[in-house]
Structure formats: C-alpha cells, structure tokens
Chain A
C-alpha cells in the first residue's frame, strides 16, 4: 500500500469545493432566459380532476404558461414505468396502474401533480399557482394496507382488482410445511417495518434546456444514475432519442436510493422547456420531497421459524404485505421480492424457506428502494426472530446464532442466493469483544440499582450487494443489465482521466477511484481526475446504488487499466529495446526489471500520441475502456451489538455503546468506509427510534416537514465503535464486497433487540419512541 494507494486513509479530493461553498448542485446553476416551474399538487388522496381553470393565473405578472396533465397526454408523453417485471404465483404479470407525469383525470395520492406554472421567477410561479382553480371531486381513499385489501375498499386502479399488485412466492412450500410438522419448537412473530422518507438533504431539482435548432435537450438533474435516466426518458417517455438528450448529474446532495428513479418533475420540465422554448428550472422544497420522493420500507409481516431439539433452525415461513403507494415506481417491484425474500436465510443454515409477498396499492406516496432496499426488512425480520427465539428457547442470543451460522462456503440458500464467502463467527467475536458482552450482566445489575433498565441487542446481518450479474437479474425480470463501464484516458503529458458510469453523491469516488490508479501506477492521485455524471462525457453506465460502485464500478476501471497498462508496456518495451514481459510499473515509471533502464509514464504517453516511434502496427493514443459484468452478488456481512438504557419513568432510550464489526472484503479507503457505516447506522437507528412517515385514514400525510418527521439529529445518536474482519470476495479481482448500506441494514434490529431485552417485553414496534416504550413497559 502506497501513501495514496489501496487501503490508505486518503483525505478526500472533492472536499475542498464543498467546504469552501464551491460545490455545484443543480439549484446552483442558472441558464440564460431560464424560467421557473411550480407544480400544482393534489390536496386530496383520491379524487377526480373535473377541470382546471388557469385563466386568472395566465394574466398574472411574469407567468409564461400553465400546463396540465391533459396537454401532456395530448402530446403523447409516456406514462412512468416500472422496470422490473414480477410474476404472481398464479402466473399473471404484476398489475400496473397507469401513472402519467401529471394526472389528467384521477389523482391517487396527496402531492400528485395535476398542472405546472411556468413563470419568470419561482415566487411569481408560486403566486400564480394560487390562482389556478382545480375542480376536484373527492373519492374515498385508503392508506392502510390491511384496509386496502378488504372487500369493499376504495379501488385505486381498474387494472388491479382488490388493490393487489402481485401475490408472489419463493421457496419450497411443501418442504417447509414438512419441516414445521416435525419441529420441536416454533417461534412466531408479527413485525411492521415502518415507512420512511429518505430525505437526502438536497431536495430534488431539474433544469431542462431545449435547443430548437438542434432539436436537442439538456437536462441537469439530481440523479444517482444519469445514463439510466436518459435511457428511460428516451425509450419510454418519448422525450427525445438518446443522441438528442444529454443528462448531467453534477454534485448531488445525497441520494440513498431516492434519486435513482425517474420522476414526473424532470419529465415535465423537459416537455415544458420545448413548449415554452426556454430553459425551465424546478427545485423541490422539503414538503414536496416528503410528498413525492419515493418512500422506503412499509411492510407488515407474519413469520414463523421452526427449530429442532438442538435449537437448529429447520424451517422458515414468511408472509409479507408490502405497501407500494399509489403507483409502481421505477424499481419498486423488485424491492420486497428479489431484494428482500432472497435474503431471508440471513447468516443461518435454514434448509427450507417459503415466503409469500403481497404487493398492495394505497393512496399514499409511491414506495421504492431506500438505503438497503428490501435487505433491511429481511435482516430486521430474521434478527428479531432470532432474538425472540432465544428468549423463548431460553438460550443466549449470541449462542443461538452461533448454533445456526453458515460456516461452509459457497453456501446455496433455498432462496436463490449462493453466498460466496464469509466468517460470521469472526465478526460476532469481534463485536462481542468490543462491547464486553461477558461483562453485560454485571453492568445490567449496576444500572438496575440506579433505576435504569439496561438491555443488549445483537444483530447479525447479511446483504447481497454489488448488483449484479446481468444474466441473473435479467432472468428474474430486470429490464436492464447491471454491469458497469469505465474508460481510462492517459493524456499526452501523462495525467489521467478516469471516466466512470458510477455516480458519486457523497461516496467519495473522486478519491477512492484515484487510489486504485495510484496503487497500480505509483503516481500521486493529484495526477488523476474522475469524470462522471454526464452522458456526453461518459458513454454509458448503470449508476450508483446497491453498494455497487466499488465492487462493480471500480472493477470496470481495473479492467480498463489493465488494457491500458498492457499497451503502455508494449510502448515502453519498444522504447527501451526490452522484452514486454520484463517491463514492470513502479513509481510512475516503466522499468526493465533487474536493470536501471526506465521510461517515465509521461514519456510513454507522449510516445503514444506523437506516434513517431511505436511498435509496428500499433494504433496511436493511450485510451482504453471496459464493461464489467459481475459473476455473482457480493455478500457483506457483520455483527452489530447495541447496549442501551431505558428510563422506566419516561420510556426514553439512552445509548451506552454501539459496536459494529463488518466484513466488507478489501477496503480501498478505511476512512471513507467508516463514514459510510456511520451514516448507515444512524439511518437504521433513525428507523428504530425516530422516523415514521405517517398517513391518516384518509390518506393525508401527517409528517411532511422536518417539524413533524423526526430526523436523527446529533444528540439523538451515539458515537460508534467500528471494527472490520475480512474475507475477500472471490467474485471480483479486488476482493471488494461493498459498504454503502450495511449500517442501515443491520442497525434497527440491534436497537429493538436491546430495548426489548431491557424492558423484558418482546413486542415493540418501530419507531420505539419514548411514548411507545413507556406504554409497552406498562401494558398489562
């Protein structure tokens, strides 16, 4: 490891612009002649749009246009799509309700846009929006999943009778039934996985700029995957063919999944820009984010786990209802199916699993992938079940896990996934040592003497990351391949540009990706630039989500580097009159091994571009690209242990210690990895203690600002004690597993297991607010 190579704690290159206020986010961009959009959104959860009268608004100062959903349909702009086809157990395809970008006839959730005002400033657009009269005929609405599937419930879409999206199954039902028939013990648990609002700190924004002469659009947008945005906008929404649409995702202020999807606002901005023949900017406010950014989680699950007399798990049955909101968002269908149920084996040998997932429409904001996406729901369920089982079987929760850990790899689970490697005992050992698990009983007794209820909670998570082999996801219904691309451009003076299809919105790619180059060539990272987030610069890419940028994106860069190095070695060998096989790269030089003969990288690069003295038949230039398609998912795993105290008088929870022992395979930059874990942990803790996106029975959102939705703040959470154990991922040459989602996947169960341990009652829903904990303590 060099000072800036793989494994070094390199301070981030991108930080200077952020700490000096020079970051360039979408809302920071101004174009000549730019207009501003303000959306008129439904105040009703379910209603007919009888008419829209914009005559008064059109007379107001600065108003350029008022555009409606009907005009959008007249212009044949396509409906929003869901890109992963799921088939129900009866063989029928999932039931897709049509989702136009602005509703021409029916609104199905509060916040759905019906029209947009385009004006000279945002304030003028907002003023005019007040003057647009929308005539709604209210319809009965349903926000609760169980209510939505009852006979006689209000129906959202004619295409989906009973509000059912799909009824999907996985696993072997008869083998699972047989296991339960011979079980010595069965543990049952009902859990709700609370709905969350992702809340990246930068609200979504879009600027669309239509060039009538070239018939060309440019879209600046807050996207985690600008190429996918361009593909979808071109292929499905009739906005423009791909070569006439440039999508730029500049600095993006956090995503957590919510900026993967293609939303109505950027579609409307593009369409409106052509209509008004001027650039159109839309920047969401926080309430719009709560109303329209895809929410996360929202499951209701009943599960049963069967054990034999040796406390070995012999079977698992799961039935989950997943709330999709009013429409199927871009990747929503895959989240409670292939990203959730395929992880239900957890870290354990479970010979038989059967799971059924029923997707439900409700009059709420659409739900899609949010940090972890299905895997937090699976991990929470399994780890709550293990804790419940330990209590019911009267064994130590850590021991029960050890009894059932998978220890042989590769391991084929009954739910598709083939775990490639791992050492679950090692991470549990590390976490137990870090928290002094053995000394807990004494600490609990000490706390009790002071009137506090102390609890400890274990969570051993596993996730499938680095999505994913294109062939595999294609066979499961994905509409895209999930490889990544990269290009290495060595400039004539030897500086390097790496073009990547990954997108950094906080992950630090501009540093970590350079570290790979520094590691291979021995040059300082200051000589390397990372280019991303612009479809005119990078040819194609699948973007950043699912903890895939290092495992897949960086591997693509490695493949392109290998090609570039191979050509550079030929040039060096030719210049040094040596054999190519004898050339080694060290400290930015190509050396003939065992001699003092060397040629520096800039001279090799210059030779490539002057082309005065290249090997016979070699093309000039030094630029290579690669597309890398992984061979398997990666399987990060770890053990989290939370120790906390509950004040029985108030129900308030106080953290004592939180330890995390993760196995992410090889770490490129441990400082950045730790930062990813910290952030994930707090999102998991936020779900466990604070966060809940709530609707009333009529579908009115109750939590649509930071005054109502409890975001974790600095004094709500502890500092963390992190450690790493390592098994290298065999699926990619760098041995990387990915670290972006682990914290959010593993933390919630550790917290709830600790609180329920402290209070001695097992049933406690998230978020475990002081009120809810107090009521649980004092419930009969």
Chain B
C-alpha cells in the first residue's frame, strides 16, 4: 500500500492504494469520480482520458502512483459551476454523443487537441488526432463537427479573458 497525494479537479487529496492500482481505479473506485470510463483495458479506446498537468493521458494505462504530486482534471472538473466548458456545450449542440460512454474521454481528448493546435484545426487534423478515441454510436461525423465548433468557441473565450 502507498499513499498517493495529488490534486483532483482543484482539490488536494491523499489516497491509500495498493501499488498496482491504476489511476482510473483511484478516480472511480476511491474518489467516486465515475465520469471517467474503462472501455478496453488496452489503451486503445480513450474512454478513460483525463488531463494530468494539462495534458491528455489514458488513465487506464498508468499507475495511480505515477500521478503522485500531479494535478488531475476529469470530466467532472471542466465546467465552471453551471457554465459548461465550450467543448461540453459543443458536443451537446452538435449532437456529438449518443450513449455517452465514450463522451468524457472524447471531450477530454478534444480539449487537449484544441490546446495543442490552437486555431489551426481542420477536419482532417481532428480526425487524425481522434485516432485514440473510439466511438461506436456517432460515426464520428458530429464529434468532428463539435470539436471544430468548440475550437472556435474556445478561441473566442480565450480572447475575452
């Protein structure tokens, strides 16, 4: 057993876990943050994507101990109170989700994509960048639309700040 100390969605937490505990297990089983999902166990589907120190990571493929000292943001931590993150709003407005299971990972990956590419996103880039997130419902059409829409909204939001 080890104590892992980390910041999750802005709150400092210390959790005693078995050394083999995965980050996603810490989030789901110990902190009850069940928005982060496990879809494949092999780092392929991206349902488990969270942000660690601002970068997208697959939380099913890293040990909780590797996140010691890090700042983790999950799907539960991106809205400001009732105000949705622009990526969340864009997924809803563009019907970028159906069953919702891949959605948290999609949104967390997509935010990271927009951050890394700034305003330079086009459809081909979004499709290429989403290669690590699998959706079985939407056929990706509306997810791609949502990410491009959100990229614009995030630029506007950034300019306003």
The chain A residues found within 8 Å of chain B, CB to CB, are: 11-12, 14-25, 27-28, 30, 123, 199-203, 251-254, 256, 285-287, 505-508, 671-672, 674-675, 678-683, 705-707, 711-715, 717, 719-720, 743
Contact = CB atoms under 8 A, between A and B. Distances in A.
A717 B101 contact: no
B155 interface: no
Nearest to A743: B139
29 contacts: A15-B92, A15-B97, A16-B92, A18-B104, A19-B97, A20-B84, A22-B35, A22-B76, A201-B39, A201-B47, A201-B134, A203-B38, A251-B100, A253-B37, A253-B101, A253-B102, A254-B136, A254-B137, A506-B99, A671-B95, A678-B142, A682-B139, A714-B126, A714-B131, A714-B143, A715-B127, A717-B140, A719-B144, A720-B141
A292 to B, nearest CB: 15
Nearest to A22: B35
B41 to A, nearest CB: 5
Interface string B61-77: 00000000000001110
Interface in B121-137: 123-124, 126-128, 130-131, 133-137
A11 B20 contact: no
A207 B54 CA distance: 35
A675 B142 contact: yes
Given A201-B45, A286-B41, A19 B95 contact: no
A20 B88 contact: yes
A252 B99 contact: yes
A19 B91 contact: yes
A46 B79 CA distance: 52
B97 A717 contact: no
Interface in B21-56: 28, 32-42, 44-45, 47
B93 interface: yes
Contacts of A203: 38-39
Contacts of B47: 201
A123 B136 contact: no
A123 B30 CA distance: 14
A706 B44 contact: yes
B40 to A, nearest CB: 4
B75 A679 contact: no
Contacts of B133: 713-714
Contact of A21 (B41, B104, B137): B104
Given A287-B41, A682-B139, 7 more contacts: A16-B92, A20-B84, A27-B34, A672-B95, A705-B42, A711-B44, A714-B127
B138 interface: yes
B16 interface: no
A507 B95 CA distance: 11
A483 B136 CA distance: 28
B140 to A, nearest CB: 4
B130 A714 contact: yes
Nearest to A675: B95
Interface of A is mostly: loop
A25 B37 contact: yes
A683 B126 CA distance: 20
A20 B100 contact: no
Contacts of A20: 35, 75-76, 79, 84, 88
A253 B93 contact: no
Contacts of A705: 40-42, 44
B107 interface: yes
Nearest to A684: B139
Nearest to A715: B127
Given A201-B45, A717-B140, A720-B141, A21 B76 contact: yes
A715 B93 contact: no
A25 B134 contact: no
A200 B37 CA distance: 13
A656 B103 CA distance: 28
Contacts of B20: 123
Nearest to A30: B32
Contacts of A254: 98-99, 101, 136-137
B138 A679 contact: yes
Given A254-B136, A714-B144, A707 B126 contact: no
Contacts of A720: 139, 141
A85 B75 CA distance: 47
A126 to B, nearest CB: 11
Nearest to B20: A123
A23 B139 contact: no
B33 A719 contact: no
B92 A681 contact: no
B55 to A, nearest CB: 19
Nearest to A24: B34
Contact of B138 (A252, A253, A678): A678
Given A286-B39, A678-B141, A707 B97 contact: no
Contacts of A712: 139-140
A253 B37 CA distance: 10
Contacts of B99: 200-202, 251-254, 505-506
Given A23-B35, A506-B137, A717-B139, A675 B98 contact: yes
B136 A706 contact: no
A130 B26 CA distance: 24
Pairs of residues from A and B, 5 with the lowest C-beta to C-beta distance, nearest first:
A21-B35, A253-B101, A18-B100, A506-B99, A682-B139
A12 B137 CA distance: 15
B45 A680 contact: no
Contacts of B103: 18-19
A537 B137 CA distance: 28
B141 A18 contact: no
Contacts of B91: 15, 19
A678 B45 CA distance: 19
Contacts of A24: 34
A23 B33 contact: no
A404 to B, nearest CB: 30
A291 B39 CA distance: 15
Contacts of A678: 138-142
Residue in A16, A20, A21 whose Cβ sees the most chain B Cβ within 10 Å: A21
A507 to B, nearest CB: 7
A743 B142 CA distance: 15
A712 B36 CA distance: 22
A27 B143 CA distance: 25
Nearest to B123: A719
A129 B101 CA distance: 29
B57 to A, nearest CB: 16
Nearest to B76: A21
A606 B68 CA distance: 58
A713 B131 contact: yes
A19 B77 CA distance: 11
A712 B139 CA distance: 8
A573 B75 CA distance: 51
B130 A713 contact: yes
B141 A19 contact: no
A22 B84 CA distance: 13
Nearest to B98: A506
Nearest to B147: A714
A706 B42 contact: yes
Nearest to A678: B139
A200 B136 contact: yes
A727 B95 CA distance: 26
Given A671-B95, A672-B95, A711-B134, A25 B101 contact: yes
Contacts of A201: 37, 39, 45, 47, 99, 101-102, 134-137
Contacts of A287: 41
B138 A286 contact: no
Contacts of A506: 98-100, 137
A19 B45 contact: no
A679 B41 contact: no
B98 A679 contact: yes
A28 B34 contact: yes
Given A15-B91, A251-B100, A506-B98, A680 B139 contact: yes
A224 B8 CA distance: 34
